[in-house]
Amino acid sequence: MGQAAARFDYGFSGESGTTDDRVQEHSFGWGAGEGRGVQPLAVSIFADRGYLRAEMAEDAAAAGLRVAQTSDLERLVSDAAAPGLGDLVLVDCPVIDGLELAALSRLDSCAAQSGSQLVVSTSIGSLDDVFGCLDQSEAQILVTPSRAERVIAMGRVLARTGNRVRELGEEDRLTLLRLTEQVTNIAARLEQLSPGNAADVESASAFRFNGEGGEAGPARLDEGTDRLVRTARPPLPDPRLVRKIIRQRQLRARFFEGDLFADPAWDMLLDLTAARVEHVRVSVTSLCIASGVPPTTALRWIGQMTDAGLLQRVDDETDRRRAFITLTDKAADAMARYFAELGSSANALV
């Protein structure tokens, strides 16, 4: 994607949409390509709130990105063809209607084809609709983000596109994911103390997942025939037990600071384990709530757990605009074996 900037026409007629003169076609600071003769990454910004467009443009320029265009969401809806995107597209749609959903879905498809990186911010009330539209481009979704969280999202794009990050081991990636959360919290507190200051971080992340096999379970050697056979997977635990464990974990927040016990990956695995046995579909909004962390942080974990083969996206057969999250067979197998290993002692967890 590092060469994507050369593939786009950043010219903007001004007849449909608006462009801020003070940020159009400029490159500032320490950004990608500075001093090396490489064109800076170009960013397109779409938001209805004028002050937010200006704020995002200012932060993008400070990060060394070239602001190619800024416009309201009507530009995405009214254009018969998708506008020239650039390397990064920032979209803010806290409340979204049918036309904007269609435009966002089209933008997602165009970004997937062109290699553009999408960062879409929305509200918790529109999260399920937005999530349902973004299934091709691996977009970053932010929920009511602070300015610092938007800057961190841009930093992640720079890390992906700049070829400046070495191949990381699994432990390094998980460490960086947790570091990103810490930087987000620190940046938010600094923002409260000194408005206008933001942080940037280059991060990537993943999980180590040691689950083996699918529903049939791991292989073992049969002593009688010396043949490799599969052991039967134990059943998933009683969902009532899992729900009790979840309630017990949530109870701690009544007496202690919630951040002390934040473990979003495990909380989501527990919730999805119970839902699988109950034959209940879990929306991304519901799963974010179950995680016990802010929605933007939860979405980051969902993305990494999906990449690791723990979670999967399942489209709603009756409404293609909606999607749900469920355990993969490997994850269900691992959860079943975990609770089987605990045996009767699992009751001591509640």
HEC secondary structure over the chain: CCCHHHHCCCCCCCCCCCCCCCCCCCCCCCCCCCCCCCCCCEEEEEECCHHHHHHHHHHHHHCCCEEEEEECCHHHHHCCCCCCCCCEEEEECCCCCHHHHHHHHHHHHHHHHHCCEEEEEECHHHHHHHHHHCCCCCCEEEECCCHHHHHHHHHHHHHHHCCCCCCCCHHHHHHHHHHHHHHHHHHHHHHHHCCCCCCCCCCCCCCCCCCCCCCCCCEEECCCCCCEEECCCCCCCCHHHHHHHHHHHHHHHHCCCHHHHCCHHHHHHHHHHHHHHHCCCEEHHHHHHHHCCCHHHHHHHHHHHHHCCCEEEEECCCCCCCEEEEECHHHHHHHHHHHHHHHHHHHHHC
pLDDT of residue 17: 43
Q: What is the pLDDT of residues 199-254, one digit of tens each?
A: 333 333 445 445 444 444 555 555 555 565 556 778 999 999 999 999 999 998 88
pTM tops 0.85, yes or no? no
Q: What is the mean pLDDT of residues 166-181?
A: 54
Q: What pLDDT is attached to residue 80? A: 44
Percent of the chain at pLDDT exceeding 70: 65
User: pLDDT tens digit string along 308-338?
Assistant: 999 999 998 888 778 999 999 999 999 999 9
